Amino acid sequence: MLAKTFFALILVAGCVSIHAGGLSAALRWLPRRREFYAGFWHWTGVFSCLAAWMIVLHLFEIAIWALFFHWNGTMPDAASALYFSAVTYTTTGYGDIVLPREWRLLSGVEALTGILMCGWSTGFFFAVVTRMFDSHATEDLGRR
């Protein structure tokens, strides 16, 4: 049980590292404050790219869990491991594929990790939207 918990914590740390690195890269890519006042289509493009980037990060994190499940033999093949991991990470939880009894605690940890990482993405997205609106308000005040 202790070894399985250790593996789970390593996987969580991997997801946090991937997410932190990915969101740091997104911060470097996002427009700076002076460029923040732009039109509708500009921001639609920015938010579309940001959403796609976050989905890529989540898919990579799902794949890390799937690789672990396939590597340790808890899933019959790589496709099943990826499917199980995606359904678990997103907390969809169909239950058509489950881990062996001795490994089931990891599915709960993966689901909690998915909730945390999706919450982090949501918070990041909200921060970007807030930054955009703050810039609009500053620009509007400057014009008056």
Residue whose pair of structure tokens reads 């921001």 in the numeric block: 43
Any idea of the CA torsion for 15, 17, 20, 22, to the nearest 10 degrees?
Answer: -80
The closest alpha carbon to 53, from 24, 30, 22, 29, belongs to 22
> What local confidence, expressed as pLDDT, does residue 46 receive?
86
- Residues 121, 55: Cα–Cα separation, whole Å: 9
pLDDT tens-digit series, residues 30-73: 876 555 556 778 888 889 999 999 999 999 999 999 999 999 99
Residues 6+ apart with CB under 8 A from 115: 91
Contact 115, 91 (CB under 8 A): yes
Can you give the pLDDT at residue 134?
73
Condensed to tens digits (0 to 9), the pLDDT of residues 85-129 reads 999 999 999 999 999 999 999 999 999 999 999 999 999 999 988
Give the chain's domains with CATH numbers. 2-138 (1.10.287)
pLDDT of residue 67: 98
Two structure tokens written together for 73: 């033999």
Judge whether residue 137 has pLDDT over 70: no
